[in-house]
Structure 1
Amino acid sequence: MQAEQVQATILPEQIDVGPVPNTQNLSFEWPTICLLAICAALWIAALALPTGWWPLALVLLIPALAQHSSLSHEILHGHPFRADWACTLLGLFQPGLFVPYLRFKALHLAHHHDARLTDPYDDPETNYLDPAVWAQMSGWQRHILNFNNTLLGRMLIGPAFGTLCFVKSDIKLICRGQLDVAMHWILHLPGVVLTLWLVSLSALPLWAYLLACYAALSILKIRTFLEHQAHERASGRSVVIEDRGPLALLFLNNNLHVVHHMHPTVAWYRLPGLYRAQKERFLRRNHGYVFASYGEIFRKFLLRSKDPVAHPLWKPKDE
């Protein structure tokens, strides 16, 4: 079924984000720059290890690549530099290989149209499907998607499944003449070539580096697993996970996801203070979609789906 043939029954609403703190008063932000430097240092250290030390290289690379992906999310939202061209230059080099920065930026900013959150067609980051599409799938396809809707499945097969769907979709767009999509991938290639060349100069096997890239994506799937839920109101679709542990740092406080969606220009290190100052407001805003920690999420959803693959609130236009 084509996207233009269906329409969500979810009612869009005007998003009242309230006062947005001013985080753009500096031309650069030291916390973000320092974290980028740490990631670069870990990455360089991993490639500098001698032959046979690849297990330690993985220990260094996996969190560094995951953290860099979170930092890329910060970059596209205008950090650590005020100038967009400077952020773009910083973001173009993606050592995680699989996601072009400019493509990520375009899709993620489209995702920030909150009235479209979880829309199977208009939200580029959703995992929900149109029920009509789901009904036409074979049994083995449904089994794969149901497994992917558990936390374990999202971590094991989610990176491969998501990347394949992403690349397949972009190839179709390029074939239809969307030159901007092609340009995003072309500008991504020099960074890929540079990364692979540097890996080839190191003692680290290429397969180990690719494994680290996959594992980093797997960790990031923990964050995106239940960031959004199907809800009749846009305000009830973004989660709060009140975690202050290492995953919260690795995800740059995007576990406070409703805070980020209401204040997308606020830097990562300001989100916890903003949440603490207005906790009741945020939880009222997202209709109590809250978890205490990532430990709670692992206990509840490691082997169980949090919701169906088919969007439970989606209906054809004429229904």
Structure 2
Amino acid sequence: MTGTEIQPLHGQTVAPIEWPTVALAGVIYGGYLAVTWWWASLSLPLVIAGGAWLIAWHGSLQHEVMHGHPTRLRWINDGLGWPPLSLWLPYALYRESHMLHHRDEFLTDPIEDPESSYFTRQAWERLGATGRRLASWNTTLLGRLTIGPAVMILAFLAQEAMQLRKGDPARLLLWFRHGVGVAIVLVWVVVICGMPLWLYLLGFVYGGASLSRIRSYAEHRYADHHEERTAIVENSPVLGLLFLHNNLHVLHHRRPGIPWYRLPALYRRDRQALIALNGGLLYNGYGDIFRRYLVTPHDEPRHPSYLENAAKDR
């Protein structure tokens, strides 16, 4: 193997049932039921920390199952990811938008990539002065962790409200099913377990979204070549487990069908080739990202391509 070759996956056939992922789902759902059931017997910081971790971990599990794990049957996989523990995001819409995100040639494009955090020139100007200040703060890691979840959730719900006003029966049915799931979750949490709604919304939902924003914050950055738009975060055993090794993000984009528990070994094997592929967009753990970007913007919020096009139009 040369420094720029990624080896084929000889001997890396995927099992019909990936038991590590099945066990992981059991741990996540079991942990969720335990923390919500016994919340009153635990300290408030432990409830909040445990709830946020489990919601973020559940989001990582949803990401895993939508890529064809842990079985070869999509309906089983989707069933594992469907329960709306985070309340606001229907699994089916998450899956739909994330599959569009995996068109790597469009990564970071604010129109073509649903997970882009960049703005077109026109969208940036429509924000107004206050909106632009908030958007600029949201490009820092501290901003992403504090106002980032609110920006993400409110923007998504506003966009979906516009879609629902069009009266698409399939969309309405999707949200009806999601609403049934949300009702079941809230009956369990608030009625059966007696947890205050504010605690679930702030500690579990908002806290979990904030933890997840650590992963997505520096995952992608605009570059002229799309292979160089996806980052790698090494040396992160704790958050790496929370994110199911999606911190090795360029490997995930290169081979999205590889189960989470195989990613570290494959990354170690092909490390030099992957770093060469992404142009050296590499961080030494999430502490490195915190040091660089806690109060410093990760990038200009306006997408360079649209700024260039605007300049040409003048």
Q: TM-score, structure 1 length as denominator?
A: 0.89
The answer to whether the 8 A contact 1:92-1:187 is kept is: no
Counterpart CA distance in 2 for 1:80 and 1:277 is 23
Deviations, residues 25-44 of structure 1 (Å, cap 9, x unaligned): 42211111111111122111
Structure 1 segments unaligned to the other structure (5+ residues)? 1-15
Residues 305 and 79 (structure 1 numbering): CA distance in 2 closer, same or farther, change over 3 Å?
same
CA–CA distance in 1 between the matches of 2:85 and 2:77? Answer: 16
Deviations 1:184-217 (A, max 9, x none): 3222122211110001211321211111211010
2: distance between equivalents of 1:204 and 1:263?
A: 41
* Structure 1 residue 169, shift from structure 2 partner: 1.2
Map 1:108-187 to 2 at 5 A: 108-187=98-177
Kindly indicate whether residue 265 of structure 2 is the aligned counterpart of residue 273 of structure 1. Answer: yes
Distance 1:175 1:82 in 2: 36
CA drift of 1:46 comes to 1.2
Q: Does 1:42 align with 2:43?
A: no
Which of the numbers 18, 29, 32 marks the counterpart of 1:29?
18
Match of 2:298 among 293, 302, 306: 306
Per-residue deviation, 1:77? 0.5
- Offset at 1:290? 0.6
Cα distance in 1, alignment partners of residues 122 and 231 from structure 2: 27
The aligned counterpart of 1:6 is none
| Structure 2 CA distance for aligned equivalents of residues 232 and 93 of structure 1 | 39
2:229 paired residue number: 237
Alpha carbons of structure 1 residues 183 and 122: separation in structure 2 relative to 1, 3 Å:
farther
Judging changes above 3 Å, is the alpha-carbon distance between structure 1 residues 188 and 253 closer, same or farther for their aligned structure 2 residues? same
RMSD of equivalent CA atoms: 2.0
- Greater shift, 225-234 or 25-34, is seen at 25-34
Give the corresponding residue for 1:256.
248
- 8 Å CA contact 2:39–2:47 kept in 1: the answer is no
What stretches of structure 2 of length at least 5 have no aligned partner? Answer: none
Identity %: 34
Deviations 1:78-104 (A, max 9, x none): 111110111122221121112110000
Report the TM-score, using the length of structure 2 for normalisation: 0.91
1:290 equivalent in alignment to 2:279 = no
Q: Which residue in the other structure is 1:316 paired with?
A: 309
Give 1:209's match in structure 2, choosing from 200, 203, 210.
200
Q: 1:45-75: per-residue Cα shift (whole Å, max 9, x none)? A: 1122264646132232221111111000001
SS in 1 for 2:304: coil
On the 8 A contact 1:23/1:267 being kept in 2, the answer is: no
Partner of 1:99: 89
* Greater percentage in helix: 2
In the alignment, the residues of structure 2 paired with residue 121 and residue 144 of structure 1 have an alpha-carbon distance, to the nearest angstrom, of 20
The answer as to whether partners of 1:240 and 1:257 remain within 8 angstroms in 2 is yes
Tell which deviates more after alignment, 181-190 or 149-158. Answer: 181-190
Instruction: Return the letter of the residue paired with 1:45.
Output: A
